[in-house]
């Protein structure tokens, strides 16, 4: 039997031609030809390398880096030019962001500038002016960044964040020249507070209330008049104090220390007379601050509360109920004062501070332990000779001096009904 000849397998189809070279956009918008890539060895490898498309408003890292190398787009100023103008006009905050017109906040109001909407290239060039490459990478990784930068003529606090429209940034201007308590027209009792050798001083208020400015003026007074060792632990460092009669050391979280709480614990072993702890955000920080205040150190810190009695409530709320009775005793023993501050527009177009001032007298300490906050408010109303006051009383004094209107007094009052009684002469 003869064997039939074996058939040859069919030849494979010809490979498709390579795709044409892709065009890639460069930083300046021009396109350049990229060499054609060979096909991957297997489809799974190609799928593994594929990246998901970024969500709307997100900025790819490669785009950020390439855009950052260029200057602002035509028609846009540099960040230094914007900050210089803001400093000259007495602006408190600058708001910039991709697809938004730059804005200033001046005396409480936000106004738009005549510049065009900010594109990504311009925004990233602004970041390069005030942030290092490492800080920009931190923002790209975490989509949030807090920091500070010194232009020489003014220092700025930086907050960068991502949003639906694209990345944005808010800059708070920190004057290079620290205002004195006399220039701020601060109550005379603030100087008396600075002469304490130990205890806890809290300056509180909402964002933009000027509490950092007030605390800087108090530190400046101590720096000029007392031979103290002052350690500040901030995130970031805002007002920079140059050592005068006092020795001042600034530490910034993330730059000079890894953790806020670690720096605070270490400060206890660094022979401080005064520790500025910035914002007290949690139970652990408050616990260390109270310990430092009770062991012979003067401690200053801030909280975001609107009144003296609400500050006590906030501190208690940081701790579980079982720990609160002992905490009230510890707070009463350590507390020097609580200053809650607000800002209001005056009739001459400027702004003035008004305060809740609670001095920790023996009577106040007793009511802190008893948790009788209403009794503390009544003591504050009756103890002007001790330097105490309430916000309503402070607003009423500004109204009597003709510095604010009745409408402003009612608008800024924490208790408008009581404020109305002040204005009608019933209190």
Condensed to tens digits (0 to 9), the pLDDT of residues 343-376 reads 999 999 889 999 999 999 999 999 999 999 999 9
CB atoms within 10 A of CB 223: 21
State the pLDDT confidence band at 253, using cuts at 50, 70 and 90. Answer: confident
State the pLDDT confidence band at 260, using cuts at 50, 70 and 90. Answer: confident
Instruction: Please list, residue by residue across 72-105, b when 16 or more beta carbons sit within 10 angstroms of its beta carbon and e when fewer do.
Output: bbeebbebeebbeebbeeebbbbbbbbbbebbbb
Q: Coil, strand or helix: which one is 403?
A: coil
Give the pLDDT confidence score for residue 108 in this predicted structure: 86
Query: Does 35 score more than 60 pLDDT?
Result: no
Note the pLDDT tens digit of each residue in 81-108: 999 999 999 999 999 999 999 999 998 8
Give the pLDDT confidence score for residue 73 in this predicted structure: 87
What integer is the mean pLDDT of 297-310? Answer: 95
State the pLDDT confidence band at 7, using cuts at 50, 70 and 90. Answer: very low
Instruction: Name all domains of the chain by residue range, CATH numbers in brackets.
Output: 61-174 (3.30.450.90), 181-389 (3.40.50.300)
State the pLDDT confidence band at 36, using cuts at 50, 70 and 90. Answer: very low
CB atoms within 10 A of CB 297: 21
| Higher-pLDDT residue of 65, 240 | 240
Categorise residue 7: left if φ over 0, alpha if ψ from -120 to 50, beta otherwise.
beta
Note the pLDDT tens digit of each residue in 386-410: 999 999 999 999 999 999 999 999 9
Q: For residue 370, what are the CA distances in angstroms to 70, 181, 326?
A: 62, 34, 11
Show the tokens assigned to 248. Answer: 């001042």
Give the pLDDT confidence score for residue 70 in this predicted structure: 63
Query: Does 41 score more than 50 pLDDT?
Result: no
Note the pLDDT tens digit of each residue in 118-141: 999 999 999 999 999 999 999 999
Report the range of poorest mean pLDDT among 68-77, 149-158, 263-272.
68-77
């Amino acid at each position: 039997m003869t064997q039939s000849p074996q058939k040859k397998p069919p030849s494979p189809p010809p490979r498709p031609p390579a795709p044409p070279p892709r065009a890639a956009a460069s930083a300046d918008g021009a396109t350049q030809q990229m060499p054609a890539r060979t096909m991957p060895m297997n489809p799974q490898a190609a799928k593994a390398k594929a990246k998901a498309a970024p969500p709307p408003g997100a900025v790819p890292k490669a785009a950020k880096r390439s855009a950052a190398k260029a200057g602002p787009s035509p028609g846009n100023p540099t960040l230094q030019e914007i900050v210089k103008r803001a400093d000259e006009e007495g602006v408190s905050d600058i708001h910039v962001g991709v697809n938004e017109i730059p804005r200033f906040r001046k005396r409480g109001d936000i106004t738009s500038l005549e510049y065009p909407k900010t594109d990504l290239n311009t925004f990233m060039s602004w970041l390069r002016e005030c942030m290092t490459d490492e800080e920009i990478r931190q923002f790209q990784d975490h989509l949030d960044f807090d920091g500070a930068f010194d232009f020489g003529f003014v220092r700025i606090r930086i907050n960068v964040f991502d949003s639906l429209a694209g990345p944005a940034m808010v800059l708070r201007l920190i004057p290079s020249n620290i205002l004195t308590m006399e220039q701020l027209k601060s109550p005379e009792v603030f100087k008396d507070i600075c002469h304490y050798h130990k205890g806890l001083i809290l300056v509180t208020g909402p964002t933009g209330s000027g509490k950092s400015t007030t605390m800087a003026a108090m530190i400046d007074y101590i720096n000029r008049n007392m031979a103290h060792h002052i350690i500040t632990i901030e995130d970031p460092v805002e007002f920079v104090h140059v050592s005068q009669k006092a020795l001042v050391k600034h530490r910034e979280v993330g730059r000079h220390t890894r953790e806020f709480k670690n720096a605070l614990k270490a400060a206890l072993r660094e022979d401080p007379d005064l520790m500025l702890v910035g914002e007290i955000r949690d139970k652990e920080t408050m616990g260390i601050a109270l310990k430092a205040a009770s062991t012979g150190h003067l401690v200053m810190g801030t909280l975001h509360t609107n009144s003296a009695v609400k500050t006590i409530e906030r501190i208690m709320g940081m701790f579980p109920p079982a720990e609160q009775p002992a905490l009230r005793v510890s707070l009463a023993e350590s507390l020097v004062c609580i200053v809650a501050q607000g800002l209001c527009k005056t009739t001459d177009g400027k702004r003035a501070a008004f305060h809740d001032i609670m001095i920790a007298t023996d009577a106040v300490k007793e009511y802190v332990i008893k948790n009788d906050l209403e009794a503390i408010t009544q003591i504050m109303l009756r103890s002007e000779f001790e330097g105490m006051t309430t916000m309503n009383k402070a607003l009423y004094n500004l109204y009597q001096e003709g510095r604010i209107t009745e409408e402003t007094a009612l608008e800024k009052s924490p208790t408008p009904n009581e404020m109305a009684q002040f204005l009608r002469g019933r209190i």
